Amino acid sequence: MITLKDVKINFGNFKKPTLDIPFLQIGNNVKLAVTGISGSGKTTLINILCGLENIDSGSILWDNTALHSLNQMQKDRFRGENVGLIMQDFHLYNGLGVLQNVLLPSKLRYCKIPEIIAKRALYLLERLNIHQYLQNIDTLSRGEKQRVAIARALVNAPKIIMADEPTASLDKENGKEAVNLLISLAAEFKAALICTTHDRALIDKMSYCLELEKGKKVEASFL
């Protein structure tokens, strides 16, 4: 369970907070779509939930862990242990192969990658229909890069998958495939799934929808 209370964050010299959430709870195994126009605070919400951004006031609790009170190194470690993060631009490393990209976060975490993680990486790539493990990431299509990013996000079997506009840079067919894979793998790994999105097809497949406007909740509904 993630619980936000009286959370505010402000960038620059704006009078109103970029994000202002009096209360929000996100339960275990939930499938949550976060919607709203550009600039409504969707990406900022993802960033504070996983500790990439600091809040100015309030609290963020992951069960009994007070995320807001951890230092940046502790937040990075916590994120690596609990969150599978998929960013809009994938953040894959050019010049490295497919498998190297999937395992890179694990290499930064472990002196030697555990066998279970290495096997999971290969399983995920097969599951996602990526078979050329040594192929340079530069040569892949955007749809293939998205699938590699999904594999990397899941390789440590996270409790929550967070995806920022996962279909925004994909065509309709690749977007549909990415949505189905995300939902299927989240269920398989018993992970919660939180997606920021404008994509109606993605929203319709989620179980809960949170709409933001100017950093505030304006609507929350079950689908």
**pTM of the full structure:** 0.89
Model pLDDT, residue 220: 66
Q: What is the Cα–Cα distance from 151 to 133, expressed in whole angstroms?
A: 12
Residues 6+ apart with CB under 8 A from 101: 92, 93, 137, 148, 152
pLDDT tens readout for residues 68-111: 999 999 999 999 899 999 988 888 999 899 999 999 988 888 88
Residues with Cβ within 8 Å of residue 108, at least 6 apart in sequence: none
Q: Look at residues 41, 46, 59 and name the one whose alpha carbon lies nearest to residue 218.
A: 41
Quote the pLDDT of residue 223.
47
- Residue 89's pLDDT is 82
Where exactly are the structural domains of the chain? 2-222
Residues in contact with 15: Cβ distance below 8 Å, sequence separation at least 6, in sequence order: none
pLDDT value, residue 8: 92
Could you give the CA distance from residue 195 to residue 97 in angstroms, rounded to a whole number?
27
Which segments in the chain show pLDDT lower than 70?
12-14, 219-223
Q: What is the CATH number of domain 2-222?
A: 3.40.50.300
Give the Cα-Cα-Cα angle 5, 43, 178 (nearest 5 degrees).
120
Q: What percent of the chain has pLDDT over 90?
A: 63
